[in-house]
Amino acid sequence: MEPVEPVADLARRLVAADSGGWTPDGVKSLAEQLGWAWADTPAHPELVTGRSTGNARLRPVGRFEERYVSGESYVELAVPVGTAAPDAAAQAAAFAEARRELTAALGKPSVMGSHGDLGPFYDSGPLWGAPFLRWRGRPDTLELRAGKAGPELVLQPTDPAENWFWRQGIGEENSISGFFGSNRDPANAGLGFPGRWTARSWETVTRSLADFLGALPAETTALGISIGMPFYGRTDRGAPLLFDVTCSDRLSIGCFAPDDLDPAALGWGTVAQHPQTASIWSDDDPVWRVDAGGPGDPKGSQLAELLVATARATGVNDPTDLIVGGEASYVDGYDITYYGLGLPTG
């Protein structure tokens, strides 16, 4: 049995390949360059890679893609590069291993983030999380994406994917999900950013927070980042700090409740109930906190309901008065926009 081609070597070959404008002839030539055989299947055409992780899938332009292309017949070639148990911890670890190999070979990605529950061209991602890393190029971009069974390398024409993302900025609730970060790599010259949407009800805020917090430790573990996210609440007493969300391999949330509130009755604990948080904050600042656990552990809906109930109890009357601190917008050299939250940043 031939040894499996390392992920880094495969990535280099994909980056160097000529996709020929993603026309039928161009993609057949691409298959020849990669040494892969063409196979027509009932769903999508595949390229037989010989890899134990499975064949490469081609995505033809269909009704969800045709608005965003300009002459391309295909919008991506997805190559599974790893498999893992379906739990969040195993999937995040498999993604992280691929990330380390690719970063060593290709350098730091120019773009990173999470697709959330709305992936490119309206696909749905895995339930555990939808992290991605992108080495942006012209005319093609390479992406490491969370697939259904494990990480996938995706070669795609740059313009259709970015055109799709940019055109989701229509301002409607949940029109964009996840979060998107870019650094100052010259490869990002000309990169466009869609407009954001605003949550108009506490129900929307609760859903968006649940999605974000439930997947966060799996996604930060996979991406190798640490997020520190303060939340402020605008009330008739100003805009005090309400929460401190911190997440790398575990998710912890601190609550800075006013003296006239009973956080314990709402569901907050102290360091005695959540000893794992002692490494994040001192014993009494903040007094109230929650340890939500690592990949796959957070109960997103419960955490979201706790934050919303606490914010409203402190006098935050409107969703637009719950504000994500601007400190959260800078992570490991990336400028991040949290599209899926629908909350203002200040």
Tens of pLDDT, residue by residue over 88-133, are 999 999 999 999 999 999 999 999 999 999 999 999 989 999 999 9
Report the alpha-carbon distance of residue 11 to residue 154 in Å, rounded: 9
First to last CA, the chain: 57
Distance (Å, whole) CA 242 – CA 259? 12
Running along the chain, 346 residues long, what does each successive block of 10 average in pLDDT? Answer: 82 97 96 91 83 94 95 97 97 98 98 96 95 98 97 98 96 96 97 96 98 98 98 92 97 94 96 95 90 98 98 96 97 98 96
Task: Tell me whether the omega of the peptide bond preceding residue 120 falls within 30 degrees of 0, making it cis.
Answer: no
What pLDDT is attached to residue 43?
A: 67
Assess contact for 94 and 151: CB atoms under 8 A: yes
Structure tokens at 204: 């929307």
Note the pLDDT tens digit of each residue in 167-216: 999 999 999 999 999 999 999 999 999 999 999 999 999 999 999 999 99
State the pLDDT at residue 42: 63
**283 residue type, one letter:** D
Q: What is the pLDDT of residue 226?
A: 98
Q: What is the pLDDT of residue 2?
A: 54
Whole-Å CA distances, 328 to 78, 187, 212, 315, 321: 31, 24, 14, 23, 17
Q: pLDDT at position 283, please?
A: 76
The answer to whether the CB of 327 falls within 8 A of the CB of 345 is no
Confidence (pLDDT) at 238: 86
Backbone angles phi, psi at 96, to 5 degrees: -60, -40
**pLDDT value of residue 1:** 43
